[in-house]
Structures are given as structure tokens and as C-alpha cells.
Structure 1
């Protein structure tokens, strides 16, 4: 094995581990909130003055865009997600830095987690709501889940790696 292949192999293992951890935390949180905590029957649960647990079924894509209950559209979204995961996996296998590999692993884990929801429930299970009150008005962020957090963290990692990461060594 060449010197270049060893770091890529260890990076790939770290990326796969990041994907598995993101997926496991996402699915465990959703299963617990749905079937143990029974969030669906509790309604909104205030956790802090700026954070509530609420159950939202997202039949659209990111941020609830393109909402549809159409079965064919749900299958199409799952197909697009499957292709995206494959492309991201190839990118992860070829990534040159640990940061990029971990970031791609987080995105893959989050995408698979939301894909599992769409397959099992026909919608993505969202439950976290951030909000703030200013001048008597309440401003809400979109309801999200841990898969979404992993995806956003992964994108932030890719941006960091692209703009601020250590540049690749130049060939002699």
C-alpha cells in the first residue's frame, strides 16, 4: 500500500464511522421520541425558552419545500436521495483530507436517516423547533431533526475545508 493510500483508507474508515454515528443518533432519537416519549400525543413540549419538541411530518424536501403526499413524488425523492448518497460516497472515497471525509460522512449519514424515514413513514420525522420572542412576536426556525444537523454540519465542514483548510501539497 502506498503512502497516499494509507491516509485515504484511515480517512475513509473515519468517514464511514461518522456516517454510522450520525445515522444511529438520528434514528435512535426519532424512535425514542415517537414510540417511548410519545411526542405525537404530547403536542409541543417546551424544553427551554427558545427550544421546543414538536412532531412534524415533512413530506417535502429541505425546509419543507415542495410538500407533496403523492406516492410517485415520494419514490422519486427516495431515488434522488439514493443517487446522491452514492455520489457522495464516491466523493468521500476520493477525498484528500480528513475534514472533507468526515463532513461527507455526516452528510451521508443524515441523508440515509431521512431516507429511512421517508421509506418507513412516507415523510421525514422532524421534531426540533428553535424560536425567539422579540417585541411580543415569536419567530420560529424550521422544524428539524438530527439528520438535518448532521447534513448542515457536514456542509459547514466542506466549506471550511474548501476555503480555510490546509491546501494540498504540491507535487515536486
Structure 2
């Protein structure tokens, strides 16, 4: 391997290359949200299948509209949490780790930044993906939320893989 290839490889393992994945998530999240906002009015939607719809809804809270009915302080609280999480994730990415671990962190980072952008610019998060069956409906979510969920699942998977690879020593 030539020196330039080694430097690029080390940079990716150290986390900087994973930032591109995070940026791609932010871009995809914002493009899809912009398209939905342009296509629908608040609360309006389009049934795609019997169990999936696109719907424009806004969330001033966190996951599952947690704290959405509060007086507005939660906007800045969740923004601060996202900024702190961003700093921590960037630090962890710089340390490096397995590809599964770094991909998980990058997905969470991209999702956190996508929703942070909404909170800072419009004061609430755009949600538009709705799964439902009969009277039951899962809370609407977006690309950023999906990235955070998949990223968290990857971190859990990586923790199981790490435990299996390094069994406890008897002694």
C-alpha cells in the first residue's frame, strides 16, 4: 500500500471518512423534508399502501412527541442535547473502531444534525413517514429518525460482536 492510500485508510478508520455518511444523511433528510413541505399542508397526506402514508406533521418534542405540549423551552433543550451529542460522536469517531461501530455513530450523527437543523431553522421537526394498520398508527417520523434508529441498532450489534470476540477470562 502506498503512503497516500495508508493515510486515506487511516483517516477513514479514525472517523473523518465517516463524516461523509453523516453529511449524506443530513442532505437526504433535508431534501425529503423540503419535498414533503412543498407537496402537503400540515396534516395532509397521501396513502401509498394500506399500511403506509406520507403525511406532513410537525413535532416540537422528541421521539414519540415527548414534551411536545410544553411551552417552547424544549426546542432549546433538545437543540442543546443534539449539540452535545454531536461533540461526543465526533470525538468517538476520531478514536475509530470497527466499521459497524463507526457507521452506527455516523448515522446517529447525521440524524441528530438533520433534526437539529429543523429545530434551529423552523422551531420544530418535520415528520412525514407514517405506518398504520386499522385504527393503530406508529408515530410519524423522518429520514433522520430512521438513521438514528439504525445507528443505535448498529451500536448494539457492535457491542454484542465485541463481547463475543473477547470472552471473559476465568481466573
TM-score of the superposed pair, with normalisation by structure 1: 0.84
- Asked if 1:19 is matched to 2:19, the reply is no
Report what 2:62 is aligned to. Answer: 61
- For residue 13 of structure 1, report the CA deviation from its aligned partner: 3.4
Partner SS state of residue 150, structure 1: helix
Query: Which segments of structure 1 move beyond 2 Å, counting only runs of 4 or more?
Result: 4-8, 68-73, 164-168
Write the distance in 1 (CA, Å) between the matches of 2:96 and 2:12.
11
Q: Which runs of 5+ in 1 are unaligned?
A: none
Range moving further from structure 2, 119-128 or 60-69: 60-69
Kept in 1: contact 2:25–2:110 (CA 8 A): yes
User: Could you tell me which residue of structure 2 aligns to residue 116 of structure 1?
Assistant: 117
In the TM superposition, 1:140-151 aligns within 5 A as 140-151=137-148
2:132 corresponds to 1:167: no
In structure 2, the CA distance between the partners of 1:96 and 1:5, relative to structure 1 (3 Å rule), is farther
- Per the TM alignment, residue 106 of structure 1 is displaced from its structure 2 partner at its CA by 0.6
Instruction: Tell me, yes or no, if the aligned pair for 1:110 and 1:151 is still in contact at 8 Å.
Output: yes
CA shift digits 1:19-68 (9 cap, x unpaired): 01111100000011112x2x116812101111011111101111111114
TM-score of the superposed pair, with normalisation by structure 2: 0.84
Deviations 1:43-95 (A, max 9, x none): 12101111011111101111111114534331222112101111111112213
